[in-house]
């Protein structure tokens, strides 16, 4: 079935929707999200993380991101850190995969050393923030199983509320509830539940902008941890789609050159 037609059919023919199981309908929505975000080829952007603890103390992280879309697999990503200053020049190269562990190399500029690291640790804090690596890595359909919950709304925007369950046993979550904008097929809010199925974090996407007349990216991603009272505001700036990146920009040499 043409993936573009699926949402139309879902809207126009409720009988078909009823015929699909909640799992099938959840999966169709996830596939449509991915289909609409396919074909961007590559982008560059800078990222700032503002970490805040429950006493209001703040700490800043500055980094730059380069992403290359890989056909039939997860994306390749290179992240270079600018702040805090002791890790300036440290860079992380990730080849994410639809199935199985990602490949990750960390470059330590003081020693000029490239280390292949265990990527199984995806649930720990990324740079001390409330984001785990699995929250910001390439979101592939195959990484979860799905269930459609209900038609809902988030801040007045009609949404599909779906639940997704990480396939990877090393994920820090049992499930995630995602509010998906019905019209644009983008996530507006995600509730994360920890391994004990208690509410852990909420991620809210703000200030979506469309690039190349197709690809939606949020200017801000605000993650709040309900168990610790800590939060992280991730701000994306200077998006540049189709910046001319290719495979050669994502190898160990380019990792060492990245800065």
Partner 1 sequence: MRQTAPHTSHRLGGHGNVFNFGVDIVKRLWWVLLLLPGLLSAGEWSGFIELQGRHFPQQALDGDQSDQLLSIAIQPEYYQRWDNGRQSLLFIPFMRWDGEDDERTHGDIRELVWTYAGDGWETKAGIGKVFWGVTEALHLVDVINQTDLIENPDGEQKLGQPMLKLSLERDWGIIDLYALPGFRERTYPGEEGRLRTHPRVDTDQVEYQSDREERHIDLALRWSHFIGDWDIGLAHFDGTSRDPLLLPAVSDSGEVLLTPFYQQMRQTSLDLQATKGDWLWKLEAIHRSSDSDSYNAATGGFEYTLVGIAESDMDLGLLVEYLYDDRQDDATTPFENDLFIGMRLTANDVDGSELLAGVIKDLDDDGWMFNLEASRRIGNLWKTSLQTRLWSDIPEQDPLFVFHRDDYLEFTVTRFF
- Indicate whether 99 belongs to the interface with partner 1 (CB under 8 A): no
- Indicate whether 202 belongs to the interface with partner 1 (CB under 8 A): no
Using the rule CB under 8 A, which residue among 37, 69, 83, 240 binds partner 1?
83
Using the rule CB under 8 A, which residue among 3, 14, 54, 120 binds partner 1?
120
Bridging pattern class, strands 215-225 and 113-117 = unpaired
- Indicate whether 240 belongs to the interface with partner 1 (CB under 8 A): no
- Indicate whether 251 belongs to the interface with partner 1 (CB under 8 A): yes
Tell me the C-alpha distance between 203 and 225, whole Å: 9
- Indicate whether 259 belongs to the interface with partner 1 (CB under 8 A): yes
Structure tokens at 168: 């990877």
Residue pair 145/248 in contact by the 8 Å Cβ criterion? no
Q: How far is the CB of 252 from partner 1 (least distance, A)?
A: 6
Using the rule CB under 8 A, which residue among 34, 125, 167, 211 binds partner 1?
125
- Indicate whether 85 belongs to the interface with partner 1 (CB under 8 A): yes
Partners of 180 in the beta sheet? 160, 187
Which of 182/256 has CB closer to partner 1?
A: 256
* List of residues 6+ apart from 8 with CB closer than 8 A: none
- Indicate whether 113 belongs to the interface with partner 1 (CB under 8 A): yes
Structure tokens at 143: 């990484």
How far does Cα 98 stand from its chain's mean position?
Answer: 13
For the chain, helix (H) and strand (E) counts, in that order, are: 5, 13
- Indicate whether 254 belongs to the interface with partner 1 (CB under 8 A): yes
Using CB under 8 A as the binding rule, the residues of this chain from 209 to 238 that contact partner 1 are none
Would the CA dihedral through 197, 223, 133, 214 be positive or negative?
Answer: positive
Residue pair 231/52 in contact by the 8 Å Cβ criterion? yes
- Indicate whether 21 belongs to the interface with partner 1 (CB under 8 A): no
Residues lying near partner 1 in the complex (CB under 8 A) are found at: 51, 53, 59-60, 83-88, 101, 103, 111-121, 123-125, 128, 170, 172, 248, 251-254, 257, 259
């Amino acid at each position: 079935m043409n993936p573009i037609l699926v949402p139309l059919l879902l809207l126009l023919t409720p009988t078909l929707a009823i015929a699909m199981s909640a799992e099938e309908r959840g999966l169709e929505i996830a596939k449509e999200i991915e289909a609409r975000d396919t074909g961007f080829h590559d982008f560059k952007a800078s990222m700032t993380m503002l970490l805040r603890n429950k006493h209001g103390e703040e700490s800043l992280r500055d980094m730059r991101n380069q992403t290359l879309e890989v056909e039939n697999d997860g994306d390749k990503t290179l992240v270079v850190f600018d702040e805090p200053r002791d890790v300036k020049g440290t860079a992380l190269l990730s080849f994410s995969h639809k199935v199985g562990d990602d490949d990750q190399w960390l470059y330590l500029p003081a020693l000029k050393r490239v280390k292949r690291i265990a990527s199984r640790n995806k649930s720990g804090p990324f740079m001390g923030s409330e984001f785990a690596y699995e929250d910001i890595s390439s979101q592939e359909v195959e990484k979860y199983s799905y269930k459609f919950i209900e038609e809902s709304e988030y801040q007045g925007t009609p949404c599909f509320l779906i639940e997704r369950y990480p396939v990877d046993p090393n994920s820090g979550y049992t499930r995630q509830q995602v509010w998906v904008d019905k019209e644009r097929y983008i996530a507006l809010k995600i509730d994360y539940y920890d391994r004990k199925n208690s509410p852990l974090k909420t991620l809210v996407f703000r200030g979506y902008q469309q690039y190349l007349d197709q690809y939606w990216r949020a200017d801000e991603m605000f993650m709040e941890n309900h168990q610790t009272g800590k939060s992280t505001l991730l701000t994306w700036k200077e998006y540049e789609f189709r910046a001319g990146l290719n495979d050669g920009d994502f190898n160990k040499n380019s990792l060492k050159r990245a800065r």
